[in-house]
Structure 1
């Protein structure tokens, strides 16, 4: 993108200056100076091992023992060499290797060979990368490695000799010291909070850390208070952040209890706030909505986290600080992004999806956002963050946010959002008839003099979802400017045109059926792609309603349930044996006239 405004230029230069300053401090604290500095303080022993909540796969242990390492979609065969000797391997592969999360797979196999293999690989890392490695000593990688080593230390150290024990603990203490010295230079957001969690876990788990404990606990308390919003959301507005934080926070909270230590005040409060919001983002099938960086849902990890929720109450309907709304009726759920752009420093994964929504009925997801590609590909990453990849309105095929371009600073700074929706007023009404949310955003105001407003109402029985998209002119609007309202459909649906193309039938796998219509507007069915799938990218479809901003200042649309699930026992097609719902009188008259 071209940088157009002075404010965006100033933001970029502030980012550049901050980045250079952080790199300078990191070089002083963690570069050659750190490597040359003598290290003599070695804890005498480990006291406790925080639990690892992430799911393990014991079948990977045999591959690792055979020298086959499949990380981040890249398979590397070491041919008898240590994986830490290899050069010119994909960076994401190296990050996963140096993070040691795969120790949980070796531990799951629970064999003597796996323990010996784990010790040999840890020794290799200490030998080849223990002093320094450009990727192995990235802050996020060091954080994950510390937490993995602590959690799986009983497995790694069992049957090991005293020399290995001392070498292991010494290297662990060295990594903790590095993280403690460079935490202020880590990227803001989840990465910095997880670094604070790792340092805290080390203080609890290693003997002789009393002089660092108070400072570490205070820093964790500060980060939790700053990053966890009053409604339980994270400042990045990414639902995935809740999963990543809770997966590390819950075991550390349990370690506090086991050691009889006083927890930072914010630790209990943060967990109590985040748990309900994690439920807030869930559809009926257990998957989380795809907003602002959330990809496919690690269902097993989410289930494990929610098992720690003692309250287990109904999810909230309104998350005003995080900028999300939830409408529910019987088995239907609508989740809507109704918040402004996150702060510049934590917007690296945020999307241009303001006023987008996802819609599900029972276990059937109907309207979705495209989500996030599991492939580490900058092109797909750019596509997934665009407004067109979300179920909302785009104008002139542009996004409602402006991202930092790749040149000349993209490689240095990533692609944070420079500007986007800032004013997002929201009104909500709940009564026996249903729930209604009306919200607008100014993401297109500067370039197109238009404010987009979306009014959605879900009936109390969950069978009708009505929406109105309005384009409010706040200045001169070019007659040639076009809009497109997109409704990305889940790939599990089958679609067909009805009544000469004036409506679309959507049939779920279990036979449940919905109709979409937008009276007075042309409806198109176009190709789309669903990125957030555990099996990779999947081809799907999208409903598109397009028009001119001047000629069509408002568009009404509706999803109406027409059949409940009643699958045939013979295993026939999705369109066999569906039970029609009774239509209201005005709906019957409308169909008869057609």
Structure 2
């Protein structure tokens, strides 16, 4: 189907038969400004007739909008219209508007006159956020029938999102639905009468999905990025409408950004938790720069659960909480007490990561394996997950209680945390102690297994303390077999030493920011523990 045919489908004569002739179009009284730059490569692909999302791609002329459901991430991305941001990063308003209006017209013909999967409240919420922010790209046409159709559909969609928002899944989906309804109230003619109800709805959605420290209960950094983005667009709508944002909303948005900063490593990208990967540091930078908020990294997060230690360029992030509840995250990870570590922009110790929020070609078996304790940089007892992962992918019994003790002094930052994930099966508590010197040159650690409860190991159980290394980090064992020298392209060498066990260097893999597996190495400290418990001491020290 040619570009001319796409433009023809957006003509008012066809749309007017769907929506009627004589209806006066509504008016946008405010157009929010999106300060976040889009992905230019995806925008260029759109201009070339290809819709690209993750590793999936479709030819735009061949897309049958009537057949697009909402089952896949690609389908939902098409419906959500967040790609308008990418198009704007690549094309002028005049050039981008021709393509955006053609696609919007095809969408209206397929979905504008009937309530179907595309009318899920969270999809309408996202669509409203981007239709209003990029109104110049989809409402520049001189065709009054097309403009009327789009604005009236937008108004109906806003009422639908408002009525159905609380039926969306708790968490980011419900927040997105209410965000769109609220932005419509601020920007559509006559919408201010619904502003108070929409504000209340959004604050309820945030309260049910966000810990007091600002992190989402899904504990997903990639979702946290989307939360910051959503709230940034909502705030932009307030400013465009010359309305003051509620103080509670401002506080939630600032806390969300602080929590996001708290899981960011030295290269500006995310640490890999709950099935996510580092993502694109450039996208992270544009989001932080454009969201209109400023916040310091959250260091001691009891709800969000990620502890951050930093000193002179060395950053450590520790998962110090149970996995997320199933209702908030259907595919959480058994990662309690795992850590990631970077020296400046160089990542050193990582978790293997996962596919993240965009489509990838990773096989299901690998995605499941990436959620295990062994895929994270922590202690694994008898090759058993600290929280069980059921055959259907849901999380079973395991970590339910995590204790934390943290303090700082003139010499170092100290963290002591323990979890009960191995008490039921082995009668042992896993405790991890960490200290980061204030010069950033030394990290001391200790993993202890402490007897607890009635169950006892009959003889002994094997353990492995794994430190997955970032791609490009080379590990050379020392002559005594108790240490390794870590060399990387972006940082001075680091020396690793362990005591009380044997050290191995094994192959590993990491999922990069594009969702692609990359070969890497891991340090593995192995040994056995008896019913009375034991301890393993280790140390990272920068050589200069």
Q: TM-score range, shorter-chain basis?
A: 0.7 to 0.9
Taking the aligned partners of 1:537 and 1:166, their CA distance within structure 2 comes to 47
> Is the Cα contact below 8 Å between 1:287 and 1:297 reproduced in 2?
yes
Taking the aligned partners of 1:201 and 1:153, their CA distance within structure 2 comes to 13
**Counterpart for residue 235 of structure 1:** 217
Instruction: Compare 501-510 and 236-245 and name the one that shifted more.
Output: 236-245
**Counterpart for residue 259 of structure 1:** 241
CA change 1:460–1:178 in 2 (3 A) is same
**Counterpart for residue 587 of structure 1:** none
Q: CA deviation at 1:67?
A: 3.5
Taking the aligned partners of 1:272 and 1:297, their CA distance within structure 2 comes to 21
**Counterpart for residue 303 of structure 1:** 285
**Counterpart for residue 462 of structure 1:** 440
Structure 1: 5+ residue stretches without partners:
1-37, 407-414, 565-594
- Secondary structure at the aligned position of 1:499 is classed as coil
For residue 175 of structure 1, the aligned residue among 157, 160, 166 is 157
| 1:556-593 deviation line (CA, Å, top 9, x unaligned) | 1111112x3xxxxxxxxxxxxxxxxxxxxxxxxxxxxx
> Is the Cα contact below 8 Å between 1:61 and 1:114 reproduced in 2?
no
CA change 1:397–1:533 in 2 (3 A) is same
Taking the aligned partners of 1:511 and 1:236, their CA distance within structure 2 comes to 33
For residue 395 of structure 1, the aligned residue among 374, 381, 388 is 381
For residue 511 of structure 2, the aligned residue among 531, 535, 538 is 531
> Is the Cα contact below 8 Å between 2:449 and 2:535 reproduced in 1?
yes
Taking the aligned partners of 1:125 and 1:313, their CA distance within structure 2 comes to 39
**Counterpart for residue 101 of structure 1:** 82
**Counterpart for residue 479 of structure 1:** 459
For residue 274 of structure 1, the aligned residue among 246, 256, 267 is 256
> Is the Cα contact below 8 Å between 2:213 and 2:255 reproduced in 1?
yes
**Counterpart for residue 108 of structure 2:** 126
Instruction: Compare 293-302 and 381-390 and name the one that shifted more.
Output: 293-302
1:148-547 aligned at under 5 Å gives the runs 148-307=130-289, 314-374=296-356, 375=360, 377=362, 378-406=364-392, 415-474=393-452, 475-510=455-490, 512-534=492-514, 536-547=516-527
Taking the aligned partners of 1:466 and 1:57, their CA distance within structure 2 comes to 40
Taking the aligned partners of 1:179 and 1:376, their CA distance within structure 2 comes to 33
| 1:61-89 deviation line (CA, Å, top 9, x unaligned) | 564355332233222235x4454155799
**Counterpart for residue 48 of structure 1:** 30
Taking the aligned partners of 1:331 and 1:97, their CA distance within structure 2 comes to 40
- Secondary structure at the aligned position of 1:547 is classed as strand
CA change 1:180–1:386 in 2 (3 A) is same
RMSD: 2.7
CA change 1:235–1:543 in 2 (3 A) is same
> Is the Cα contact below 8 Å between 2:342 and 2:349 reproduced in 1?
yes
Size of the aligned set, in residue pairs, is: 516
Q: CA deviation at 1:554?
A: 1.1
**Counterpart for residue 554 of structure 1:** 535
Q: CA deviation at 1:545?
A: 1.2
| 1:355-412 deviation line (CA, Å, top 9, x unaligned) | 0111111222111111122526433332222111110111222211234532xxxxxx
CA change 1:473–1:95 in 2 (3 A) is same
Q: CA deviation at 1:521?
A: 1.3
- Secondary structure at the aligned position of 1:465 is classed as strand
- Secondary structure at the aligned position of 1:385 is classed as coil
CA change 1:135–1:480 in 2 (3 A) is farther
Taking the aligned partners of 1:532 and 1:241, their CA distance within structure 2 comes to 17
Q: CA deviation at 1:200?
A: 0.6
> Is the Cα contact below 8 Å between 2:265 and 2:315 reproduced in 1?
yes
Normalised by the length of structure 2, the TM-score is 0.87
CA change 1:41–1:276 in 2 (3 A) is farther
- Secondary structure at the aligned position of 2:335 is classed as coil
- Secondary structure at the aligned position of 2:266 is classed as coil
> Is the Cα contact below 8 Å between 2:53 and 2:77 reproduced in 1?
yes
Q: CA deviation at 1:523?
A: 0.6
**Counterpart for residue 10 of structure 2:** none
Taking the aligned partners of 1:172 and 1:352, their CA distance within structure 2 comes to 42
- Secondary structure at the aligned position of 2:174 is classed as helix
| 1:4-42 deviation line (CA, Å, top 9, x unaligned) | xxxxxxxxxxxxxxxxxxxxxxxxxxxxxxxxxx9x998
Q: CA deviation at 1:350?
A: 2.5
Taking the aligned partners of 1:312 and 1:130, their CA distance within structure 2 comes to 38
- Secondary structure at the aligned position of 1:318 is classed as coil
**Counterpart for residue 118 of structure 2:** 136
Taking the aligned partners of 2:497 and 2:132, their CA distance within structure 1 comes to 56
- Secondary structure at the aligned position of 2:537 is classed as strand
Taking the aligned partners of 1:311 and 1:84, their CA distance within structure 2 comes to 37
Q: CA deviation at 1:289?
A: 1.8
Instruction: Compare 346-355 and 45-54 and name the one that shifted more.
Output: 45-54
- Secondary structure at the aligned position of 1:348 is classed as coil
Normalised by the length of structure 1, the TM-score is 0.80
Q: CA deviation at 1:261?
A: 2.5
